[in-house]
Structure 1
Amino acid sequence: MHQHEDALRDDTSRAVLLDTFGGPEVLALRDVPRPRAGDGQIRVRVSAAGLNPMDWFMTADAETAARFGLSLPCGFGTDYAGAVDQVGPGVSGYAVGDRVFGAALSRAVADHVVIDADGDIASGIAHHTPDGVDDRTAATLAIAGSTASAALDVLGLGPGDTVLVGGAGGGVGVFAVQLARIAGARVIGTGSPSSAEYLRSLGAEPVAYGEGLADRVRDLGLGTVTAALDLHGTETVHVARELGVPDDRICTIAGQVDGVPAANGADSAPDALENIARLVAAGRLRVPLEATYPVEDIRVAVETQAARHVRGKVVIDLAP
């Protein structure tokens, strides 16, 4: 009997699945057949999965899900970190036991994910995790890090710049603020009044969002704002225009404004995530964690993340 139960465990795995699109209430942790790595693939034993707004946004309804190529039954979550536990034929550059992190579109919150060794975000992306970066931190890097990197590439920041970052305390903002500072720019970050000290800890000069933002930015006395990044909607775009920032030095990731460039993680440079991971390993970039949850508490974790008041990242633990 015990041997039979052990054999069943060897053939099964846990994954968070949706049988219908909707909010956190439709998420369920299920036992599923353990996937196997095929030709050109690796299987990763996931130890941590980071949450992003896109996770619940793209599974909220069938129409949105279809735009991302998702159908039911559907997995959940995209960022992951763990270790390779199976290598398929034809794969080079990975071995069993290698620590990796990356993205697997809407299927990362699972004990195992199968990744194409030379894939994209849909089929899966894997990068080697540097020594000195723990799995919880590595599990936060892929979506937010690549999005921030792509947006900053649009702006081309340097030591002479002062950049206004709207939504600076969120998951992407954590990376955008620090990467802008590493590039030599001065950063003004918008947030709630209660987030001021947190934004300062990231390297930004805090300013409260909302009506009168342009005047509050001027009152800081930091000189001319030369660039702007809107990580939440469009408020920062309109304020930046009011401050005289040209459209080609404004970037959005969530809202769209005619004449203003937008960026997403797919636009990032091929080496963007490796560079970010190296900065983390070197202690030059840190990723604050708002909270960690066991996978059994996935609904609570997503509710926390979806409230959009988190400072930093929310991570799901799947460690064996």
Structure 2
Amino acid sequence: MRVITQHRLGGPEVLTVVDAPEPRPLPTEVLVRVKAIGLNPLEARLRAGEFPLIGPPPFTLGWDISGVVDQAPQTWRFRPGDEVFGMPLFPRAANAYAEVVSAPALHLAHKPASLSYAEAAALPLVGLTAWQGLVDLAGVREGDRVLVHGGGGGVGHVAIQIAKALGAHVITTAGRGKRAFVEGCGADEVIDYTSVDFTEAVHDIDVVLDTIGGDTAERSLEVLRRGGHLVTAVAEEDTELAATYEAAGRHFSGIAVDPDPVALRSLAALVEEGSLRVHVQKTFPFAHAAEAHRLLDHGHLQGKLVLTV
């Protein structure tokens, strides 16, 4: 099989397509013939060596996959021929930039028929982050006022749709060029962060989901009602900021996403009922991973990038 690997840290040019033996599934694992691979900004940071989540090179990046089960020894969850998607093993290396992946059956779900393989591969990491943040941590309910920072990005555009499905009034920050996009995702109000200070535009927010970082999490304290909740996917280890929130009578939670079969099936159910779609900005052939990473490095994406196999 072909695998995209790297033997040194650096720019997109370090990604190399090589031949490798197919993995062998362990009991309770399935062998997946990969059809598409979702790319995430985290992978660009790992490629460049910004932090050693999966150790030093050589390594193979990637977690988000969709494909077809080829082998399913000693598991009742799937059969050969099943179409699946998921985010196996995160944050341990899943070696998902590959034509074949061995994954725990518990970390996968049946692919919704209405999603293409590319769309299904784009959903797991961003969808699970949004679901775990809004549902599991913040407990968003009907009528809540939810502010999603970065609504045009991968996590953000999915979070808008999940919050709307929960019955929330959703406000989001986004650049002027993404206004129509986030409104199409269901945003009730859009704040153009390039010209408007969100702390002056909104107040009495029940839940803030931060996907931006910087001072966004700190300044979000000003817009939360007493008892409100900040969930951040960026400043999750900022203990000083957490203490500031608690002292002000607000809740602070950091979200570090993990594989979650219940949430994955819940995302699939939202897709099947027509309440959730994931936007794929662009797809790239498998061998063009370096080209895809150049766009990933550029940032300011609208939705997700995907490799097709």
TM-score for both structures, normalised by structure 2: 0.87
> Does residue 224 of structure 1 match 2:204?
yes
Offset, 1:23: 2.6
Offset, 1:212: 4.7
Instruction: Verify the 8 A CA contact 2:208 2:224 in the aligned structure 1.
Output: no
Cα RMSD, aligned residues only: 2.1
Instruction: Verify the 8 A CA contact 1:133 1:277 in the aligned structure 2.
Output: no
Cα separation, 2, equivalents of 1:37 and 1:214: 49
- Residue 304 of structure 2 aligns with which residue? 313
- Residue 160 of structure 1 aligns with which residue? 143
> Does residue 298 of structure 1 match 2:289?
yes
Cα separation, 2, equivalents of 1:44 and 1:148: 25
- Residue 87 of structure 1 aligns with which residue? 72
- Residue 70 of structure 1 aligns with which residue? 55
1:22-37 counterparts in 2 under 5 A? 22-37=10-25
Cα separation, 2, equivalents of 1:234 and 1:184: 29
Please tell me the residue identity of whatever aligns with 2:256: N
Instruction: Verify the 8 A CA contact 1:213 1:239 in the aligned structure 2.
Output: no
- Residue 179 of structure 1 aligns with which residue? 162
Question: CA separation of 1:36/1:21 partners in 2, compared to 1, >3 Å: closer, same or farther?
Answer: same
TM-score for both structures, normalised by structure 1: 0.84
Cα separation, 1, equivalents of 2:260 and 2:79: 25
Runs of 5+ consecutive residues of structure 1 not aligned to the other structure: 1-12, 119-124
Please tell me the residue identity of whatever aligns with 1:225: I
Cα separation, 1, equivalents of 2:286 and 2:296: 14
Cα separation, 2, equivalents of 1:247 and 1:254: 21
Please tell me the residue identity of whatever aligns with 2:191: V
Where in structure 1 do 4 or more consecutive aligned residues deviate above 4 Å?
A: none
- Residue 225 of structure 2 aligns with which residue? 245
Runs of 5+ consecutive residues of structure 2 not aligned to the other structure: 243-251
Q: SS at 2:16's partner residue?
A: strand
Cα separation, 1, equivalents of 2:261 and 2:235: 25
> Does residue 102 of structure 1 match 2:86?
yes
Cα separation, 1, equivalents of 2:160 and 2:145: 11
Offset, 1:234: 4.0
Please tell me the residue identity of whatever aligns with 1:64: F
Question: CA separation of 1:39/1:237 partners in 2, compared to 1, >3 Å: closer, same or farther?
Answer: closer
- Residue 266 of structure 2 aligns with which residue? 275
> How many percent of aligned residue pairs carry the same amino acid?
32
Please tell me the residue identity of whatever aligns with 2:83: R
Q: SS at 2:51's partner residue?
A: helix
Offset, 1:309: 1.2
Question: CA separation of 1:38/1:229 partners in 2, compared to 1, >3 Å: closer, same or farther?
Answer: closer
Please tell me the residue identity of whatever aligns with 1:57: R
| Larger displacement relative to structure 2 (29-38 or 232-241) | 232-241
- Residue 8 of structure 1 aligns with which residue? none
* Deviation digits for residues 36-73 of structure 1 (CA, Å, limit 9, x no counterpart): 22333211000000011111223321x722xx243432
Question: CA separation of 1:235/1:197 partners in 2, compared to 1, >3 Å: closer, same or farther?
Answer: farther
Cα separation, 2, equivalents of 1:312 and 1:69: 25
1:250-265 counterparts in 2 under 5 A? 250-256=230-236, 257=238, 258-259=241-242, 260-265=252-257
Higher Cα Rg: structure 1 or 2?
Answer: 1
Offset, 1:269: 5.7
Aligned residues: 291
* Deviation digits for residues 234-274 of structure 1 (CA, Å, limit 9, x no counterpart): 443233222243475111001244223111222x7641111
Question: CA separation of 1:211/1:132 partners in 2, compared to 1, >3 Å: closer, same or farther?
Answer: closer
Cα separation, 1, equivalents of 2:26 and 2:186: 45
Please tell me the residue identity of whatever aligns with 2:128: S
